[in-house]
Homo-oligomer: A and B are copies of this chain.
């Protein structure tokens, strides 16, 4: 009787195991089990991709707005800006006259800003709560000029001197500031001049897509870099754009209508991901329970443990992938909803979460391709030949590394086409 019972138990376990390793199609044929999980995954792919594309398009508007503002600033504040950056700096100057003119041009453009700018810009307060320009210069502490009879005397300690040009003073008075002793630059000991100022902007474009506009603070910094003392001053323009709360903004007219639909869509994405999360967790739990039964059966019948490799067969990597992807989508969607209602402005984290989760969802599609016989063979062949390929790559890489190091040192300086640093051409060819 126990024997028979054991036989029945064994038969049932065998059936359950066979069923466990079936694909959705076979499961449906075997027990008429409808593949809910498969359907849910397909629905999820569609919704997650739609959400990502919509978010991406919105995000791109934000980025484009920032970039276009920076291009405008370069045209407004840099004298002789050609529209294209040279190398990593925006432009370069070679004579003392140009240096003074470029600096004074920036200052003058700043105080005329309201009359020349096409964007709805406003002066912003800087870190010290003052509205105006902050101009700093770095220079070697002291030194006497370098003439044919005299020697050059330099104190290697670096000093920093700053001057604040308040907007009010610029707007009222004449160009008195040009007479400041600060603007007497001794280029042979000057390291760099930094002009920094804050501007406030508003992304009015959002109004057209029926959304509340974001307000921006642009922390601009123009650097005249003379550190190399090679006769060429490089002008850098850095702009750090931050989204801030729009305090004194007053928008009338028909706005803020489709926000709720967006929120609803995001909520439904969360719901689907939750469902998928629960189903996959359940599958893993069931699989672990089946493994437990198998282990017990082995202990009972053969008095030995199931081998490790077989045990791992029960924890499906695909389910783990789906679970991670679902968790990321849920967190990302919540973040996105917060961004939509303007509680947060953390676009970057949100885009990383949503982007990575979508990547995982699409990779998950490969699992279903594994059910096709022909494709499976392909994957197995690739797996087998991988180690050899990797080993060969490692070796080639080693010679290449040696070669680039050598080439960089020996050829680099005399051949301008040779890249600055060899690793650069390894990883970013």
Contact = CB atoms under 8 A, between A and B. Distances in A.
Interface of A: 49, 52-53, 55-56, 59-60, 62-65, 67-69, 71-73, 75-76, 93-97, 99, 115-123, 131, 140-141, 146-148, 150-158, 187-188, 202-205, 207-208, 226-233, 247-255, 347, 351-352, 354-356, 358-363, 365-366, 369, 372, 374-375, 378, 387-388, 391-392, 394-395, 398-399, 401-403, 405-410, 412-414, 416, 420
Q: How many copies does the complex hold?
A: 4
A423 to B, nearest CB: 10
Given A154-B252, A420-B60, A395 B410 contact: no
A383 B55 CA distance: 43
A364 to B, nearest CB: 9
Given A72-B230, A253-B156, A399-B363, A406 B56 contact: no
A90 to B, nearest CB: 14
A231 B69 contact: yes
Contacts of A414: 63
A331 to B, nearest CB: 15
Q: Is the interface of A mostly helix, strand, loop or mixed?
A: helix
B249 A151 contact: yes
B250 A152 contact: yes
A407 B356 CA distance: 9
Contacts of A354: 409
Contact of A96 (B67, B115, B231): B115
A157 B119 contact: no
A207 B409 contact: no
17 contacts: A55-B409, A59-B409, A63-B412, A65-B230, A67-B416, A68-B228, A75-B94, A95-B116, A99-B118, A120-B188, A123-B148, A140-B204, A155-B251, A358-B402, A359-B402, A369-B398, A375-B391
Contact of A202 (B148, B152, B158, B355): B152
B122 A148 contact: yes
Nearest to A357: B406
